[in-house]
Structure 1
Amino acid sequence: MKKIRSYLFTCLLLLPTSVVSIISNLNTALAQAVVQVAVIVNGNAITNYDINRRMAFLRLQGRDDGHLDKLARKELIEEMLRRIELNRHNITVNDAMVNGAFSEFAAHNHMTETQLAQMLDQERVTPEHFKSYIRVQIGWGHLVGSRFRAEGIISEEEAVQRMLQNGGLKPAVNEYRMQQIIFVIPLKHRSSLLDKRRHEANSFRRKIRGCESLRQQAKGMIDMTIRDLGRILEPQIPSEWEKSVLATPVGQATPIQETTQGVEFLMICSIRKVSDDRVAQLIFSIEDNRSSKVPKVSVIEEKYMKELYARAHIQNL
């Protein structure tokens, strides 16, 4: 055995320096590639690789307080709890929304998407880790928003008192009546059908003559759904649609968007100013949230996270 080891060592010495370097680098890479589970949250694993990437992300944000490992674990545990809650409510954030946010972040920082991706790779964060973070942030925002609409609205009595204090004036806001047009794409065929359905949606969108004739125009079309969204107040428009809805005149359609269901756009049927007790409740609640030192939405979010922690099983390994 000693002779064999001696022979192998002699052969290694005879190898060109470049080959020895390659072997050394390969061994280092293999050692770094060993991924181990560090935390289990409700049966879902967080690995040491996840933690290392989050530490790099925190460092990139200038949040290196000397306890990066602890902070990275805390953030990833909260992120996992939020991801589990999103799944429980069947909330999915599609790739188009994530990629759009990634692109906006790059533009805001005067970079192209490619430059941002390269920078994230160089800092050992990786674009995949950042996009995963974005996906959870968007979905969690929807959940907290739903909680705020359910719990953060002031009572009708309080709204009446506020109006009396303002001389009886009721706040006014735009009310939209809209229809949602969905060109459905089955998930298993998404990659092969997406371009085709985008073309069909844009073609149909250009031919629309108004909400009244919409269903008649859609007759005979396959895998296409029209939903009447009813009347929606401007502050209630979902954030992912807000910009395009506000820029679209009555009788026209918003640009298309890719969603989990397929390719969609909204038809603006009417816009009118409304002012009643329901509007007052909503507007006063939003004003209170904006003016408060600790916004009510933040209080609701903190309470929500405490609930998730209370029923969670977290195991640090």
Structure 2
Amino acid sequence: PAFASQIKYVVNNVPITTGDIQHRAAFLRLQRKKGNAAEEMIEQTLRVAEAKRLGIRISDAQVEAAYQRFATNNKMQLKQLDGVMAQSGVGKEHFKEFIRSQMAWNQALTARHRSESGGALSEQDVVRRMLDNGGNKPTAMEYMLQQVIFVVPAAERSATLSKRKREADAMRARFNGCNTSRQFAKGLIDVTVRDLGRILAPQLPPDWADQIKATKVGGATP
């Protein structure tokens, strides 16, 4: 099916249309999964943006190869898979973009784990570094981060942006830790809480590092 689309959300300057959300809803039905299609598209857009920030690019050739493997693994010809995607309302292009985002995010997670473990240092290298530092075990501050997203529909941006900023400021004032953020968010409309995991100080994104380091434990950045 073809969907008449209009921009519903804008995330990091990337538009998410009503058509995108309808395709994702069809994809969830095809998988027989429960979920919020709009939230999934917002999460996918954020993940792709983070992968791009890390310099990760998934080529069209890589996506096509993965699409072919999916068809082969499910004992289908490409035309058959195209047909399934079309008939279900997902669309092959939407599925391919989903594949691209998954591949990019997997690479981003791999890069993060590699950097957290210090790359390919051997045990001897670690011991040598400790000896060079006078026998002191190297330490680094670790942060457990969450991102609280107040979504502003594109069509309502001029009318609701100031209100959403006030809501965000009010939540920030009440915020006392990552364990309660979802409880606060439950009473708000179009608010998503995204876990970013544990990140060592040297791996903090440059755009956020200063604000995060200046924030007290259990606090929220501006």
With structure 1 as the length reference, what TM-score do the two structures score? 0.39
Query: Which residue in 1 is equivalent to 2:59?
Result: 94
Deviation of 1:316 after TM superposition, in Å, equals 3.7
Aligned match of 2:19: 49
Contact 1:42-1:314 within 8 A present in 2 as well? no
Uncovered stretches (5+) of structure 1, i.e. residues with no partner: 1-28, 155-231, 234-275, 281-302
Say if 2:103 is the partner of 1:138.
yes
Verify: 1:277 aligned to 2:114, yes or no: no
Between the two structures, name the one with larger relative contact order (CA 8 Å, sep ≥ 6): 1
Task: Answer yes or no: is the 8 Å Cα contact 1:39–1:45 preserved in 2.
Answer: yes
- State yes or no: 1:315 paired with 2:155: no
Match of 1:110 in 2: 75
Please show how residues 276-295 of structure 1 align to structure 2 within 5 Å: 277=123
Q: For 1:82, which of 18, 43, 47 is the aligned residue?
A: 47
Partners of 1:278 and 1:113 lie apart in 2 by 50
- Structure 1 residue 59 corresponds to structure 2 residue 59: no
Call closer, same or farther: CA 1:36–1:278 in 2, change over 3 Å. farther
Aligned counterparts, 1:176-255, within 5 A = none
Deviations 1:81-106 (A, max 9, x none): 01112222232101111111111111
The secondary structure found in structure 2 opposite 1:91 is: coil
SS at match of 1:117: helix
- Tell me how far 1:279 sits from its aligned partner: 9.9
Q: Structure 1: which amino acid aligns with 2:89?
A: R
Partner of 1:263: none
Note closer, same or farther for the CA distance 1:96–1:279 as it changes in structure 2 (3 Å cut).
Answer: farther
C-alpha distance 33-54 of structure 1, shift in aligned 2 (>3 A): closer
The residue type paired with residue 91 of structure 2 is: T
- Identify which of 126, 139, 148 aligns with 2:113: 148
Shift of 1:36: 1.3
Cα separation, partners in 2 of 1:79 and 1:279, compared to 1, 3 Å: farther
Instruction: Kindly provide the CA deviation profile for residues 262-296 of structure 1, in whole angstroms up to 9, marking residues without a partner as x.
Output: xxxxxxxxxxxxxx62699xxxxxxxxxxxxxxxx
TM-score by length of 2: 0.54
Shift of residue 35, structure 1, vs aligned partner: 1.3
1:33 deviates by 4.6
Q: Is 1:126 aligned with 2:91?
A: yes
Contact 1:39 1:315 in 2 (8 A): yes
Count of aligned positions: 138
* Cα 1:116/1:279, change in 2 over 3 Å: farther
- Gaps (5+ residues) in structure 2? 127-143, 155-222
Following superposition, the deviation at residue 40 of structure 1 comes to 1.8
Residues 1:38 and 1:140: Cα distance change in structure 2 (over 3 Å): same
Paired residue secondary structure (2:102) = helix
CA shift for structure 1 position 42? 2.2
SS in 1 for 2:152: strand
Shift of 1:49: 0.3
AA paired with 2:31?
Q
Q: CA deviation digits over 1:56-109, x for unaligned, max 9?
A: 00000011x4xx5xx111111110001112222232101111111111111111
RMSD of aligned residue pairs (Cα, Å): 2.9
Secondary structure, in 3 states, of the residue corresponding to 1:315? Answer: coil
CA–CA separation in structure 1 for the residues paired with 2:109 and 2:101: 12
- Identity of matched residues, %: 34
Runs of 4+ in structure 1 deviating by more than 6 angstroms, as ranges, are none
Structure 1 residues 33 and 145: CA distance shift in structure 2, 3 A: closer
Distance 2:150 2:5 in 1: 22
Deviation of the 1:34 alpha carbon:
3.0
